[in-house]
Structure 1
Amino acid sequence: MTYIVTDDCIRCRYTDCVEVCPVDCFYAGENMLVINPDECIDCGVCEAECPAEAILPDSDPRAEKWIEINREYSAQWPNITRQVAPPPDADEFKGVQGKFEKYFSPKPAAE
């Protein structure tokens, strides 16, 4: 089993989860994070730390499409190992539905 990040992270990109990950398996896109499912050790500490509730175990039915998205973009985006400030408008996007279609960016993080 592994954990993955869903579109609830888009435009929020809180990095509380990154700070607690013991294996540094998070990767940063321009406006969201992903987890490399092959590096995740299934410890689950990140799930509880996510303010946007964007992290799910792959056994959750809502996670199915996100496994491949996390795998694909973790191979393209830079690894992130430290907490950084979220976007200034992150709280405005917390809980917004359908963010992937409207806001997803395939670009890597600039930092």
Structure 2
Amino acid sequence: MTYVVTENCIRCKYMDCVEVCPVDCFYAGENMLVISPEECIDCGVCEPECPAEAIFPDSDDRSTAWAEANATYAKQWPNMTRKGTPPADADEWNGKTNKADMLSKNPHSD
């Protein structure tokens, strides 16, 4: 079992979860994070750290639609090992639904 970042991370991308991950399995896109299922050790420390409540175990039905995206983008986006600055409007997007179409396929850039 692994953990999966889901839709609520889109346009929030707080990155608190990155700081606590003992195996650095987070990867960053332009407006979302994902977890590599090949690297996640299922420790669960990231889940309670997410202010957007966007991280779930892959056994949770809320993660099903996002498991493939996590696996795909973890192979394409750069690894994140430190918390960065979230988008200025992250709080405005937190909790909004139907953000899937806003997912950018572009990698994170400094």
TM-score relative to the length of structure 2: 0.98
Offset of residue 62 of structure 1:
1.4
Q: What secondary structure, in the 3-state scheme, does the structure 1 residue paired with 2:65 have? A: helix
Cα-to-partner distance string for 1:27-51 (whole Å, 9 max, x where unaligned)? 0000000000110000000000000
Mark the runs of 5 or more structure 1 residues left unpaired by the alignment: none
Residue in 2 that maps onto 1:75: 75
Alignment: residue pair count: 110
Match of 2:66, as an amino acid?
W
Residue in 2 that maps onto 1:4: 4
Offset of residue 89 of structure 1:
0.4
TM-score relative to the length of structure 1: 0.97
**Cα separation, 1, equivalents of 2:11 and 2:100:** 10
Offset of residue 65 of structure 1:
1.8
The alignment status of 1:65 with 2:65, answered yes or no, reads: yes
Mark the runs of 5 or more structure 2 residues left unpaired by the alignment: none
**Cα separation, 2, equivalents of 1:32 and 1:14:** 9
Match of 1:89, as an amino acid?
D
Offset of residue 90 of structure 1:
0.3
**Cα separation, 1, equivalents of 2:6 and 2:53:** 9
Q: What secondary structure, in the 3-state scheme, does the structure 2 residue paired with 1:73 have? A: helix
**Cα separation, 2, equivalents of 1:63 and 1:91:** 22
Percent identity between matched residues is 65
Q: What secondary structure, in the 3-state scheme, does the structure 1 residue paired with 2:88 have? A: coil
Cα-to-partner distance string for 1:45-72 (whole Å, 9 max, x where unaligned)? 0000000000000000111121110000
- RMSD across aligned C-alpha pairs, in angstroms? 0.5
The alignment status of 1:95 with 2:95, answered yes or no, reads: yes
Residue in 1 that maps onto 2:40: 40
**Cα separation, 1, equivalents of 2:108 and 2:56:** 22
Residue in 2 that maps onto 1:21: 21
